[in-house]
């Protein structure tokens, strides 16, 4: 019974190793996205004067217990924790803010200058249920402003840098959602009001929310279950409960965003999944294709985090954006990376003698700073030009027997099919002239 056989076969374990669940290889075809994002983030960091910081991938697990919060999903269920031979309990970092704050204190960066504007990029690890836009290993770009004053200008600058990141990557329909969750003075009051409201609906809450109601009421606003969503509609509005200091701070952030013409949507139910936030919180989504992937950048103010780590009260604000999500949205929105191949030539040969000459020509071009592709191991010219086509290289330089004899080279425009021959010794000059003309 062939059908039966096939069924059994599909159950056979694979002969090859695979990546662990929720972790992915980044193949050459995706590298151009990574390069573009990396370049854009570095340029923005440079322009807005953020210094790069790199922290280890492993940190003491307690760092995250203290800062991200004991009751958060990250600490409760998602950390990769290990015990070293020396007995230390370490965690693969699930996020970058706590490590940066730890480094700020450890190296007394506050004494160098105030505020510290820091930028980082690297892998994070969370043992989540993998789905679209949610992985167990993912990379974040983060910007943090730590120290100085709690001026709303800094909240705005953090949001602006992420707004520019999406804009530079040509991501369309970005929707910035923003809220304020108050401070030590006004938040406890709001939490109590929230608890009182939810107590009346306790029997209709999902089991997670029953637990949140007791332990972490603000997170009730984060629940996406249908029954809880309905209850959420009539919750007290946090923005009505802010103290005057928080209210003024938030209004000023919004005024600055208006001044910069950065559009936003107020979302009084945005609370975020980490416990260290106070006052401003924000997330940016790409509406339309890619919306299902979740927030791109997300962040907020975290004025009390340094205290949690034993430091002084230090104002701070920041955000981070998942690179895989950026790439997925760029693909969903069909954003082309273009340009890279337009300043590249393809060297092709017709015949064994020409192949040898081409080998030298490729090296000469590289030496002259001309990006060059080739498919010299292919014998047929057609097969070689197919590679050029696949790579999107617009110009082919072709050498055959006759060209070797005449010490010339054919320049073929692969978009129009037009070609001419030029003396071999003038080829670098000729390519550079063409590029100048098309600037």
Binding site for ligand HAM (CB under 6 A): 95-97, 126, 128, 133-135, 138, 140, 142, 144, 273-274, 295-296, 298-300, 302, 318-322, 324-325
Answer yes or no: are the C-beta atoms of 72 and 274 closer than 8 Å.
yes
If the CB atoms of residues 272 and 412 are measured against ligand HAM, the closer one turns out to be 272
**Quick one: 64 or 346, whose CB is closer to ligand HAM?**
64
Rg (Cα) of the chain, in Å, rounded? 28
CA torsion, points 244, 276, 231, 288, in degrees to nearest 10? 100
CA gap 59, 92 in Å, rounded? 7
Between 70 and 202, CB nearer to ligand HAM: 70
Q: How far apart are CA 404 and CA 414, in angstroms?
A: 21
Residue 166 CB, shortest distance to ligand HAM, in Å, is: 11
Taking the complex as a whole, the smallest distance from the CB of residue 149 to ligand HAM amounts, in Å, to 18
Give the helix ranges, DSSP H, for 127-266. 152-168, 187-199, 207-215, 226-232, 244-259
Residue 388 Cβ, how far from ligand HAM at the closest point, in Å?
A: 36
Nearer to ligand HAM, 165 or 320 (CB): 320
Angle at 132 between CA 128 and CA 136, to 5 degrees: 30
- What token pair was written down for 402? 């006759």
Q: Count how many Cα atoms sit within 13 Å of the Cα of residue 434 in the half-sphere of its side chain.
A: 17
Residue among 125, 132, 142 nearest 23 (CA): 125
Report the distance separating Cα 93 and Cα 81, nearest Å.
Answer: 9
Considering the complex, state which of residue 169 and residue 274 has its C-beta at the smaller distance from ligand HAM: 274
CB-wise, 330 or 347, nearer to ligand HAM?
A: 330
In this structure, are strands 116-125 and 51-52 parallel, antiparallel, or unpaired?
Answer: parallel
Query: Which of residues 22 and 400 has its CB atom nearest to ligand HAM in the complex?
Result: 22
> How would you classify the pairing of strands 116-125 and 395-399?
unpaired
Nearest approach in angstroms of CB 439 to ligand HAM is: 36
371: its two tokens = 């990006």
Q: For ligand HAM, give the closer residue by CB, 52 or 432.
A: 52
Contact 371, 320 (CB under 8 A): no
Alpha-carbon gap, residue 255 to 235, rounded angstroms:
26
Categorise residue 283: left if φ over 0, alpha if ψ from -120 to 50, beta otherwise.
beta
**138/154 with CB nearer ligand HAM:** 138
Q: Is the CB of 135 or the CB of 346 nearer to ligand HAM?
A: 135
Q: Shortest distance, CB of residue 321 to ligand HAM, whole angstroms?
A: 5
DSSP state of 131: B
Shortest spacing between CB 108 and ligand HAM, in angstroms: 20
Answer whether 340's CB lies under 8 Å from 148's CB. Answer: no
């Amino acid at each position: 019974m062939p059908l039966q056989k096939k069924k059994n076969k599909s159950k056979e374990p694979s002969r090859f190793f695979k990546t662990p669940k929720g972790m992915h290889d980044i193949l050459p075809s995706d590298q151009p996205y990574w390069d573009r994002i990396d370049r854009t983030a570095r340029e923005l960091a440079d322009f807005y004067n953020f210094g790069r910081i790199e922290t280890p991938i492993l940190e003491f697990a307690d760092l995250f217990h203290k800062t991200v919060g004991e009751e958060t999903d990250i600490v409760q269920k998602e950390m990769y924790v290990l015990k070293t031979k020396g007995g230390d309990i370490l965690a693969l970092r699930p996020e970058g803010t706590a490590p940066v704050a730890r480094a700020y204190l450890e190296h007394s960066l506050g004494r160098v200058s105030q505020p510290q504007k820091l930028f980082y990029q690297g892998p994070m690890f969370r043992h989540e249920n993998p789905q679209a836009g949610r992985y167990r290993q993912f990379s974040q770009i983060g910007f943090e402003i730590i120290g100085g004053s709690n001026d709303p200008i800094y909240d705005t600058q953090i949001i602006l840098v992420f707004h520019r990141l999406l804009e530079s990557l040509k991501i369309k329909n970005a929707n910035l959602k923003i809220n304020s969750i108050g401070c030590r003075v006004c938040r406890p009051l709001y939490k109590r009001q929230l608890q009182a409201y939810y107590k009346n609906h306790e029997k209709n809450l999902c089991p997670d929310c029953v637990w949140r109601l007791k332990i972490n009421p603000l997170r009730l606003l984060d629940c996406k279950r249908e029954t809880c969503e309905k209850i959420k509609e009539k919750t007290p509005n946090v923005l009505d409960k802010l103290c005057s200091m928080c209210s003024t701070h938030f209004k000023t952030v919004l005024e600055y965003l208006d001044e910069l013409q950065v559009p936003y949507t107020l979302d009084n139910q945005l609370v975020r999944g980490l416990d260290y936030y106070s006052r401003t919180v924000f997330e940016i989504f790409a509406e339309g294709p890619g919306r299902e992937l979740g927030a791109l950048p997300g962040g907020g103010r975290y004025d009390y985090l340094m205290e949690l780590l034993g430091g002084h009260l230090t104002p701070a604000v920041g955000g981070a954006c998942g690179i895989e999500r950026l790439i997925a949205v760029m693909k969903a929105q069909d954003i082309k990376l273009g340009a890279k191949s337009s300043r590249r030539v393809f060297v092709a040969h017709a015949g064994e003698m020409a192949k040898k000459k081409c080998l030298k020509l490729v090296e000469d071009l590289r030496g002259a700073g001309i990006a060059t592709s080739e498919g010299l191991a292919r014998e047929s010219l057609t097969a070689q030009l197919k590679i050029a086509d696949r790579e999107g290289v617009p110009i082919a330089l072709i050498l055959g027997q006759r060209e070797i004899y005449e010490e010339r080279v054919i320049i073929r425009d692969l978009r129009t099919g037009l070609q001419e021959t030029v003396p071999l010794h003038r080829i670098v000059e000729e390519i550079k002239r063409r590029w100048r003309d098309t600037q």
